Amino acid sequence: MNYPHPIIAKEGWPFLGLSLVASLIVTVAAGWLWSAPFWLVTLFIVQFFRDPARPVPGTSKSVLAPADGRIVVVEKVRDPYLDREALKVSVFMNVFNVHSNRSPVDGQVKARWYNAGSFLNAALDKASTENERNALWLKTMGGHDVTCVQVAGLIARRILCYVKEGDVLVRGQRYGFIRFGSRVDVYLPPESRIKVAIGEKVRASATVLAELP
């Protein structure tokens, strides 16, 4: 499996480094009592930027969860990027979830769109069209179109995406990161068989969201 980073995501290294230095300085200068809040912040940063390796279940027709979190939307909609009928599945991430984003399918990036926007609560459905977002159009080896959209949230202020048009991804491959609370929307062919329900907790690459036709 493509896993280029250690247990703590590289996006968190600067935050963790600064927090560790600050914690150590306050500990030496003022003692453990005064430094306790700094160490709590350090622990929060460690848990937020954790990036564990994950299994990749299913077959080439399996659509995997692109993020850790809770299912907040499962519905038939119009894909705003490819202008087609689609099934939409949305995963909401809170600050205690792993925020590394993984490819839901094996496929080639046919296009990428970035839209600046608001920072509404990512659990709200209108966040999909009003918040800052980054969308990938993935064409699977079987010819199916899958749109995967990173959506910034109320606290999130940075969407990171490391792939571009023409790149080929495999299921479970790490392709991006969203800092501090957000959601990921997946638009699937309408004939897909959904495997999850609203309210269900999912894990990036380890949970099968749907099966392609």
Positions marked active-site:
182
Residue holding tokens 């119009």? 78
- In the three-class reduction of DSSP (H, G, I as helix; E, B as strand; rest coil), residue 36 is classed as helix
Region class of 208: left (phi > 0), else alpha (psi between -120 and 50), else beta: beta
- Angle, helices 13-30 vs 32-48, to 10°: value is 170
3-state secondary structure of 148: strand
**Do 125 and 143 contact (CB within 8 A), yes or no?**
no
